[in-house]
Amino acid sequence: MFGKKRVETLVVGAGPCGMLAALVLADGGEDVMIVDSAPRTCTNSNATILHPETLVTLQRLGIADRVIAAGYAIHQLSIYDDLCHRQSVHLNLHPHGFPFALSIPQSELEAILEDELTQSGVHVLWNHRVSEYEPDGSSLHITADRYSDRGTGYAISHMERVIVKSIHLQAKTLIAADGYNSILRRVAGRDIQKLGEDQYFVSFEFETDRDPSHTCFLSVSKGLTTAQQPLENGIARLQFQYKGLTLPSRNREKERAFFQDKAELPDYLDETHFNQLVKERVPWNIGYVSKLRYRAAVPYEKRYLKTPRSGNVFFLGDSARSFSPLGSLSLNLGIQEAEQVAQVILQTEEDEPRIRHQRLDELGNQMVSNWKRLANLAGVTIPGDSTDPWVAKNRVRILRSLPATSETLQELARQLHISIELPKRHPALV
């Protein structure tokens, strides 16, 4: 067809998972293109913690130093019940890899990934929304609509997004990294399965005079989890698991504006409610709060795709599954899996589609079994005789909130005298 651009791999969605996959592919010499419906990277902190294992992934790409320089190292996590400190776990006791996790706003991470992609010769095609795809022989025919902002109205000016052009692409493989509300999942007719109970969190960023001392805080009380992470420059973020709210899935759309209109926020995100939540739910000293900054209320449905591949499309990141926000598990697994998916694509470049599908399915099956394990920690963790009984009882909530994925997660669990069984790493990286 006239005007149809051919590309080996198309990545849909320039979130951290899509950009990471595109970067690995570009560095491996693949002809890759990446499109995103939004006008730019996100502007808020969102998922803030990078696990030591994720830093290893970034190191393999040669960008760990740059990311670490932009973040704040987390050395320990202090665990509280509703009144007092119970135990701490230390990331610097792990003998291999990075002896810390990293706190970095997602906006900063995305900006670095975009810049690295540009340096690798791949420019994100912003404002391009993929609306459909269909099989075209052994490849896919994809339509992406280019959007532009148009001013309307006279008395009150108003901007709306309009389609100015549609482009047609042909790709051998499509990585669908189009996020929690994935449209491509619907186009593929894929049903998503429950992985656990839906959760809702409200989070507040604030400026404080308390020295963060490279520490994250966690409390579990009356069946609800509260967590605090330090960000850069005297900013901290408190996240409260919250019952009694049902939030729309549009609250999972990432922010692209630089200012939040405080007048539009609901009551449960105002200062009075923040102070009340701190009083009722935070047993550690948060310091003097000089300013409340960004706030958000976000739904987290725990769910997954039973098979992440559908024909020539592979679902990655939040489009394939989602967890609760504590410990930023979705982001970290997504980045690690993005590297693996991209490696399989590179390793099967010369093979016929059947072989690539087989290899992607092996990886997909292993990812699914890992997600199930992480969603069902009660079944794969065993407290020991010397585990604090309160820790043993609350171990699922505690372990799920730790800033670690595989070996480091096992090490942190060991410090709590809990053993945890996790699958081995996929051979794509061995």
Ligand X SMILES: Cc1cc2nc3c(=O)[nH]c(=O)nc-3n(C[C@H](O)[C@H](O)[C@H](O)COP(=O)(O)OP(=O)(O)OC[C@H]3O[C@@H](n4cnc5c(N)ncnc54)[C@H](O)[C@@H]3O)c2cc1C
Structure-token pair, residue 321:
């599954």
Q: Does residue 17 bind ligand X (CB under 6 A)?
A: yes
Write the burial class of residue 265 (CB in 10 Å: 0-12 exposed, 13-18 middle, 19+ buried). Answer: middle
Q: How far apart are CA 315 and CA 175, in angstroms?
A: 6
Write the burial class of residue 88 (CB in 10 Å: 0-12 exposed, 13-18 middle, 19+ buried). Answer: middle
| 117 Ramachandran zone, left/alpha/beta (phi>0; psi -120 to 50) | alpha
Q: Does residue 188 bind ligand X (CB under 6 A)?
A: no
Residues 36-95 that bind ligand X (CB under 6 A): 36-38, 44, 46-47
Name the residue nearer to ligand X (CB basis): 142 or 344: 142
Which of these segments, 172-180, 278-286, 364-372, 391-399, binds ligand X (CB under 6 A)?
172-180
Provide the minimum distance between the beta carbon of 421 and ligand X in the complex, in angstroms, as a whole number: 23
Q: Does residue 18 bind ligand X (CB under 6 A)?
A: yes
Q: Does residue 16 bind ligand X (CB under 6 A)?
A: yes
Q: Does residue 425 bind ligand X (CB under 6 A)?
A: no
- The single residue among 7, 14, 117, 220 that binds ligand X, judged by CB under 6 A, is 14
- The single residue among 58, 298, 367, 402 that binds ligand X, judged by CB under 6 A, is 298
Name the residue nearer to ligand X (CB basis): 130 or 387: 130
For residue 262, which amino acid is it?
K
Q: How far apart are CA 163 and CA 160, in angstroms?
A: 10
CA-based torsion, 399, 401, 406, 407: positive or negative: negative
- Contact predicate 298/251, CB 8 Å: yes
Q: Does residue 301 bind ligand X (CB under 6 A)?
A: no
Which of these segments, 95-103, 113-121, 174-182, 415-423, binds ligand X (CB under 6 A)?
174-182
Q: Does residue 400 bind ligand X (CB under 6 A)?
A: no
- Contact predicate 290/318, CB 8 Å: no
Residues 254-273 that bind ligand X (CB under 6 A): 254
Name the residue nearer to ligand X (CB basis): 216 or 360: 216
CA-based torsion, 100, 219, 196, 186: positive or negative: negative
Quickly list H helices, 247-313.
271-281
Pairing state between β 224-230 and 158-176 = unpaired
Write the burial class of residue 396 (CB in 10 Å: 0-12 exposed, 13-18 middle, 19+ buried). Answer: middle
Provide the minimum distance between the beta carbon of 7 and ligand X in the complex, in angstroms, as a whole number: 15
Q: Does residue 106 bind ligand X (CB under 6 A)?
A: yes
Rounded to the nearest angstrom, the gap between the alpha carbon of residue 69 and the centroid of all alpha carbons in its chain is 20
* x-marked contacts with ligand X along 321-360 as a string, rule CB under 6 A: ----x--x-xx--x--------------------------
Q: Does residue 21 bind ligand X (CB under 6 A)?
A: no
Residues at the site binding ligand X, with contacts judged by CB under 6 A? 12-18, 35-38, 44, 46-47, 106, 129-130, 177-180, 183, 239, 252, 254, 296, 298, 317-318, 325, 328, 330-331, 334
